[in-house]
Amino acid sequence: MDSAPPRATPRTPGSTRIALFLAVPAVLLLVLIAAEWRPLLDVDGDIARTTHRWALAHADLTQTARILTDWVWDPWTMRALCTVVVLWLVARRGWWLAGWLAATCLVGTLVQQGLKAAVGRERPVWPDPVDSAHYAAFPSGHAMTAAVVSGLLLWLLRLYGVGGLAWAAGLAVAAVSVVGVGFTRVWLGVHWASDVVGGWLLGALTVALAVAAYERVVPQEQRPGGSGVGGEQRPGGSGESREQRPGGPDEGLHPRPDSPDEGREQQPGRAGGSREQRSGGLGESRERRRPGGSDGRP
């Protein structure tokens, strides 16, 4: 008697492994900041004092940083971008995906504000500030919101099979936005460097958890390429049934009636049938022109 095949060991999805990988440094940094670990505070202070001197010495760069952080990479600008994408998905009847993006952005905002209130970290204070900000410092709301929105949009591009130059461009814009907004917050002296790093880690963790939950909860037919209502079908994708393709499911196995290989499907003894069926054609057999049948004899 054959023994039963060994049961395959379930594999952890990639998004879950990424979430576990991001959770460790995010929690560690949160603990160190809450405990006011002196070596970390010293590094934050050194970076802040250096960048503040640069901000005072380079007024043009400081003004550019202020415009970028207040308008281009502002959290409300990023949320507005996410809202536009959600409305686009709703118009395409991608209900699950639209709801998932909206819910993830909302959860990210709630986590950010909750941690600010719980940690209550003071922002840098300067006698000659170049900018101002409100609420507590950790985590940076600008950095976390940029990481959440950029990560979700990159995930959406992958779901819809975007690759090549379009994917490279999207990845470059996302990277510049996430790194750039963090740089502006430190340059303007409104955040410690660890606030920005914490925002990046928590934003990436939020996206990874959202992707892992989506892969576990949302049915396959409701995802992009699925065949259910709300699934965004790609032309020729896996969700498209064979009956929907011209020619039916057996197309390609048998030649069409007008294909050049028509004669190959004839039964034995009727090899010349394809020529005999074309009356008046160039391939009309001589036997049909003679009286007496196809064999040429009475």
Domain membership flag for residue 3: no
For the segment 20-28, the average pLDDT, to the nearest whole number, is 96
In a domain, 234, yes or no: no
CA triple 125-128-132, angle to 5 deg? 55
Structure letter (DSSP) for residue 271: T
Is the CB of residue 205 less than 8 Å from the CB of residue 19? yes
Expressed as residue numbers, the domain containing 189 is 14-222
Residue 121 placed within a domain: yes
19 is a domain residue: yes
| Structural domain includes residue 191 | yes
Q: pLDDT of 159-200, one tens digit each?
A: 999 999 999 999 999 999 999 999 999 999 999 999 999 999
Q: pLDDT band for 13, please (50, 70, 90 cuts).
A: low
Residue-wise pLDDT tens digits, 31-82? 999 999 999 999 999 999 999 999 999 999 999 999 999 999 999 999 999 9
Number of domains in the chain: 1
According to the model, what pLDDT value does residue 102 have?
96
Angle, alpha carbons 281-283-288 (nearest 5°) = 85
Query: What is the pTM assigned to this prediction?
Result: 0.73
Residue 110 lies in a domain: yes
Residue 145 lies in a domain: yes
The verdict on residue 22 lying in a domain is yes
